Structure 1
Amino acid sequence: MTMQTTTTAPQAPVAPAHGRLRPLGQEEVRITGGFWGDRQAVNGRNTLAHIESRLESEGWLGNFDRAAAGTLPEGRRGREFSDSEVYKYLEALAWEIGRTDDADLETRLRAVVSRVAAAQEADGYLNTMFGRPRQGPRWSDLEWGHELYCLGHLFQAAVARERTRPGADDGLLQVAVRAADLVCAEFGPGGRDAICGHAEVEVGLAELARATGEPRYLEQARLFVDRHGRGTLRDIEWGRKYFQDDVPVRDATALRGHAVRANYLAAGAADVAVDTGDAELLGALRGQWDRTVARRTYITGGQGSHHQDEAFGEDWELPADRAYSETCAGVGSIMFSWRLLLAGGDPRHADLIERTLYNVVATSPAPDGRAFFYANTLHQRVPGVPADGDATSPRASSSLRAPWFEVSCCPPNVARTLASLDAYLATADDDGVQLHQYAPASVRTTLPDGRVVAFDVATEYPASGRIRVTSSASSGAYGRVGAAAADAPWTLTLRVPSWARGARLRFAPANGGPAEEREVEPGAVEIRRAFGAGDIVELELPMTPRISSPDPRIDAIRGCVAIERGPEVYALESVDLATAGAADVADVVLAAGTRPSERDGRVWIDVMSVGADDSAATWPYAGGGAAPRGAASVSVPLVPYHEWAERGPSTMRVWIPAAT
């Protein structure tokens, strides 16, 4: 068994060996409130307990007990990948313990780890679905068995534990290392020339290599990445692109196939490219990201337009009413974009992360954190059906949020993302700190040459576009910095989102000197100086609601518009249409010439009723662009997309037809 622990990595999910930027971990950045602070609190207070309860009641945790007792396959419950949900839950616990130092969560983590460890076989194999009498042999169903996929999530859980509690004696890292050594023996040079049908082990191995210092794990991740596209998996009805086994990663021009698999593979490939110095591979991944964002991504940041195979469509294939936009694909997109951001510093990658966080990740959980969307449609044609709070729902179709699914990958994926979100806000380089996402936060770090950087962020974003950064001279509660040197300049970089035309940057020194103010363009804006305690840098982002029009090549929404405000996409719900004399979002269109406005804390638009004529004689086509019936327009409110379906069953649409 290999065991070389390195404890210098940040307390963060991603810790690349190289790159333009270094992520600041939980020990350096703390979200202190606001939009994301509230969601982290609900996640820690409600969601984690809810997930563990369902893992128990569904029998997915009990599978490990049966494996340890030698009674499998009798009584095994859940799909072939149910082990992975336990591992994602452990990862979420590890990040939440790192964030809050919660003693009860520590007890719960150790209890689950002991059950998992007891199920591991002597040679390191760990899976409750395969390998025992009357079960399929090990590695016998690489297309669908998910054995390596599950282990990838185990590795990520172990890395989270090692980074938040280095050297912990619970044994999780040791379990992961034994399993990783077996994977290298089975699938390394001279072993099985194969891949898993669901990418994930690549990410887990690369990060485990970083956490342990074991180069074999990175090499195994590289082998898996390079084996994709050689047709080693059996062909299926959706083609090998479903598994990303149709074209080598280096030759692909866009993400394709199953959207979660595609993003996980791209994230793992980015890890391999960065840590091996493979510029060709990294360049190919950047090109894939560019085309995928330009042609295969919803306005919400969601990805995946096919229900049947949970997959990307072709370029411009983005139907609103059939949007799959799986929550897990959004998480995978963030993983991929974050790695590219760290590698090159391009603020566009942070733009997509922000869009996906607010309009996919924040949309999935209910306000109480105990029900979730699996898919995230942009157009609900019929009112949803309230979910049974005790039942397990079929996955996929959007209705109303459900407490659990037969395939419940999304709840623990959201949980681990929210628990680790502090580590996605900021980065550092040799000369300063870059703030990529905006939330009330405390930032404390030391640059490589010893310069101290300490500041606090105050904002009500996204309700307000004002972000105030106040320099501090004290170390706060995080222990790694001392008094800031007044004569040591450093560079603060702030991201101006691509939608923020007309943003303004202001610097106000604490000593009463003259303030400086200027307009800044979208992208990265820098301010360099020897910051003193109390100095204020204030970024003002324009938050006026705006109308967004689709590329005309997106056939499904031609003639429609969407409303955005800041990073949030807005939706029209039928529950708000009473004043328009309509009961369904299908019965109204955006009034010609209307502009969205704000009042009473909400965004409003003017709509015109087109009626609901059920006459059999009605013909839905007319030459010359017929005007809608009904001359009067009525003002109706919209809701942020992440709040839709919180007031009961309704119809909903993001893309609203515009009157001709």
Structure 2
Amino acid sequence: MHTTSFGPVVPTDRAISALRPLPADAVRFDPGGLLGGWQRRNRAATLPHCVEQLHRHGNLDNLRRVTGDFDGPHRGYWFADTDVHKTLEAALWDGGFPSFVAETAQLLAKAQDPDGYLVSYFQAGERHRQWAELPSSHEMYTAGHLVQAAVAGARRAPHDPAAQQLLAVARRFADLLVERFGAGGEEAVDGHPEVETALVELFRVTGHRPYLQLAAVLVERRGHGLLGPESRFGQRAYYQDHVPVRDATEVTGHVVRQVYLLAGAVDVAVETGDSTLLRAAERLWDSALESKTYLTGGQGSRHRDEAFGDPYELPPDRAYAETCAAIGSFHWAWRLLLATGRARYADEMERLLFNGIAASTAQSGTAFFYSNPLQLRTGHDGSDEDAPGARLPWYRCACCPPNLARLMASLHTYAATGGEHGLQLHLYAPGTCTAGGHTISVATEYPWDETVTLTFTQATGDPWTLTLRVPSWCAGARVSVNGAPLSFVEDGWVRLERVWKAGDRVELVLPMPPRLVRPHPRVDAVRGTAALARGPIVYCLEHADVPGRYFEDLYLDPEAPIELRRDHPLTPVALSVRDFAALVPYFLWANRGPGPMRVWIPLLP
């Protein structure tokens, strides 16, 4: 069994992989930085909050109901177990909640059926038979999140009895899936993709090839109408069951399902050497980014079906942009980055992280957005629980908060790649990075400041390459080594190969003047508007900074100078422009009470 401590995605040595993930402890964020601060908040507030909500909303009692230790009705959706699994995964990546991990692993083991089945809603006989309603039952989806929690345990704490118990539970469920739905078994797929990525990762942990083979079979079956002719609202595209993945030309349907499916397709492609499937995933990425993605990285313009719209159908006030979709897109981008080494995927990870994902969590860490609009109108009534004017502590469908918790707990594992011969730095944050016998201390106030300083504190004396990402929004990047300037950027990277020694200092300057962003001319909903951005941060105009003014009457002068404001109480850097005292980072909106907000501001006629 492979037990080296790595993060959530670890391609095998035989996989198509341009970049290699680092061990989980190779990158450490300084808690005083923005990313490290988010991790600290996650540990101190978000994760304990999620555990509390699992008790309060009955998710754990649902499992106790199966074991006979609770007498009461099932609460929540039929996939409510996944909130337990994702919180468990977050706790395992974090490493700081041993009692919750041990107690939950024991509960899951006790609740599991002898054949390996473990979905409390169906075990308790709430409706019909197991596996009888795959378009909507989320049974494989639930299994997938259980497996991902077990993978976290196997990588983070392989010798811990609770982690070992959890892995045994997950493998029994996965073995049942292989037996029932593998080659020669029932030709079926789950209505909600997710198990595919989990099965590939379980193969990577255990070396048991049937898990990979099942994942490949499930990806290949998608798009052949196996979910039935009467799919949700009569649209097979909702489930991505209308055309095979390798033949699809555009992303469509329920966004979370689509991005989870394509993340799984990349996993399968790299492990099986299927370059055609990998190219299909890249082609669909192009479809998503070219015409179906918001400025914040959010995806999904239709509340109905939580779905992608038509090309360029991107209304800011009706943006669904579900938090889980942003997280799924981040996971998809990471897999494509590992497979191809193309900087564009790291650029999108950064955009998502600082905008579409970060906006979902309140500064307290205990309230969340499910959907993330780019505009809130004056008088918005907030009656739709998925689109309120303020973040909520929990949701009836609570998929997003524990999803955020597991991403933040493992966030450092996405910051860099590398190995014996070098390191590639993708996300800039203060802290340390170690690879190939070299250790680098990173000092920066990014994304508020444009300078990133890297100092070698350990080196081997052998040739070694430091690769730094230059974001696509940045023009005129500058880099120097020990004060000597260099000037070369290729395909979004600066590559510095030399024999390094302790004390060597690299300075990367990424100029980030405020910029006016104009929308694509085909996006009718924001024609005649502009947005403001600086570096990776998208800014917005919020009610608290223009009190007493009717938002729908506000206009932006495109010729007015944009200035930095460093005295704003909410953020280290606000933007100031004529007639507007301040615009704040989009991810910080709605922390000063509910009220109107907009990213795209009408230009003066």
| TM-score, with length taken from structure 2 | 0.95
Match of 1:402 in 2: 392
CA distance in 2, matches of 1:55, 1:238: 34
Q: Report the counterpart of residue 220 of structure 1 in structure 2.
A: 214
State the aligned residue count.
592
Tell me what 1:645 maps to. Answer: 590
Task: Look up the match of 2:570.
Answer: none
Alignment of 1:69-148 (within 5 A): 69=68, 74-97=72-95, 102=96, 105-133=97-125, 135-148=127-140
Equivalent residue of 1:78, what SS? coil
Listed as ranges, the matches of 1:408-447 within 5 Å are 408-428=398-418, 431-446=421-436
Match of residue 176 from structure 1 = 170
Q: 1:486-505: CA deviations, max 9, x gaps? A: 2x111100000001101111
- The residue aligned with 1:493 is 467
1:375-390 equivalences under 5 Å are 375-382=371-378
The offset of 1:518, in angstroms, is 3.0
Asked if the contact 1:28/1:444 (under 8 Å) is kept, the reply is yes
Q: Is the 8 A contact 1:159 1:208 kept in 2?
A: yes
The answer for the alignment partner of 2:19 in structure 1 is: 21
Give 1:71 shift: 7.0
Match of 2:332 in 1: 336
**Contact 2:480–2:506, Cα closer than 8 Å, also in 1:** yes
Which one-letter code corresponds to 1:202 in the other structure?
Answer: E
* Aligned partner (choices 7, 18, 32) of residue 12 of structure 1: 7
Is contact 2:565-2:576 (8 Å) kept?
no
Rounded Cα–Cα distance in structure 2 between residues aligned with 1:80 and 1:132:
11
**Aligned position for 2:443:** 458
* CA–CA separation in structure 2 for the residues paired with 1:64 and 1:573: 43
Alpha-carbon displacement from aligned partner over 1:272-307 (angstroms, at most 9, x marks no partner): 000000000001111111121111100000011110
TM-superposition CA deviations, 1:559-605 (whole Å, max 9, x none): 11010011110000122114xxx523211100241132113344334
- Which residue in 2 is equivalent to 1:56? 55
Q: Distance in 1 between matches of 2:536 and 2:126?
A: 52
1:162 aligns with 2:159: no
Cα distance in 2 between the residues matched to 1:384 and 1:424: 37
Specify the code of the residue in structure 2 equivalent to 1:496. V
How far 1:428 moved relative to its partner?
Answer: 1.0
Q: Which residue pairs with 1:38 in the alignment?
A: 37
What is the distance in 1 between the residues matched to 2:276 and 2:589? Answer: 42
After TM superposition, give the deviation of residue 485 of structure 1 in Å: 2.2
Query: Cα–Cα, structure 1 residues 216 and 278, in superposed 2: closer, same or farther, change >3 Å?
Result: same
More helix by share: 2
Q: CA deviation at 1:28?
A: 1.1
Residue 190 of structure 2 aligns to a residue whose secondary structure is coil
Quote the offset at 1:15 in angstroms: 0.3
Q: Per the alignment, do residues 528 and 288 of structure 1 end up closer, same or farther by CA in structure 2, a change over 3 Å counting?
A: same
Alignment check: 8 A CA contact 1:80 1:129 kept: yes
Match for residue 492 of structure 2? 523
Deviation for aligned residue 1:254: 2.3
SS at 2:574's partner residue? strand
Partner Cα separation in structure 2 for residue 245 and residue 570 of structure 1: 37
| Residues 1:563 and 2:558 are matched in the alignment | no
Rounded Cα–Cα distance in structure 1 between residues aligned with 2:29 and 2:292: 32
**Is the 8 Å Cα contact of residues 302 and 329 (structure 1) preserved in structure 2?**
yes
Q: 1:590 aligns with which of 556, 564, 578?
A: 556
Which string of whole-angstrom CA distances, capped at 9 and with x for unpartnered residues, describes residues 132-152 of structure 1?
545321101101111110000
- In structure 2, how many angstroms separate the alpha carbons of the residues matched to 1:642 and 1:207? 31
- The 1:430/1:309 distance shift into structure 2, 3 A limit, reads same
- 1:535 pairs with 2:501: no
1:243 aligns with 2:239: yes
Question: In 1, distance between residues paired with 2:70 and 2:530?
Answer: 58
| Aligned twin of 1:300 | 296
Is the CA contact (8 Å cut-off) linking 1:395 and 1:407 kept in structure 2?
no
What SS does structure 2 have at the residue aligned with 1:216?
A: helix
DSSP-derived class of the 1:309 partner: helix
Residues 124 and 179 in structure 1, CA contact (< 8 A), matched pair in contact too = yes
The 10-residue stretch of structure 1 (139-148 or 231-240) with the greater mean CA deviation from structure 2: 231-240
Larger Rg, first or second structure (1 or 2):
1
Secondary structure of the corresponding residue to residue 561 of structure 1: strand
In 2, distance between residues paired with 1:283 and 1:416?
29
Aligned-partner Cα distance in 2 for 1:95–1:453: 24
Structure 2: runs of 5 or more not aligned: 568-572
Q: Offset of 1:172 from its aligned partner?
A: 0.3
Give the corresponding residue for 1:631.
none
Matches within 5 A, 1:459-478: 459-473=444-458
Alignment partner of 1:231 is 2:225: yes
C-alpha distance 470-385 of structure 1, shift in aligned 2 (>3 A): farther
Cα distance in 2, alignment partners of residues 404 and 353 from structure 1: 25
Decide whether the 8 Å contact of 1:376 with 1:398 is kept in 2.
no
Q: 2:195 aligns with which of 201, 224, 231?
A: 201
1:499-518 → structure 2 map (5 Å cutoff): 499-508=473-482, 515-518=484-487
Cα offset, 1:236, TM superposition: 2.5
CA distance in 2, matches of 1:30, 1:529: 24
Query: Is the CA contact (8 Å cut-off) linking 1:545 and 1:603 kept in structure 2?
Result: no
In the TM superposition, what is the alpha-carbon distance from 1:383 to its structure 2 partner? 5.3
TM-score by length of 1: 0.87
Q: 1:604 to 1:485 in 2, by over 3 A?
A: closer
The equivalent residue for 1:373 is: 369
- Cα contact 2:197–2:215 (8 A) shared by 1: yes
- Report how far residue 445 of structure 1 moved: 2.3
Distance 1:36 1:21 in 2: 22
1:318-337 superposed matches below 5 A:
318-337=314-333
Aligned to 1:76, what secondary structure does the other structure show?
coil
Aligned to 1:449: none
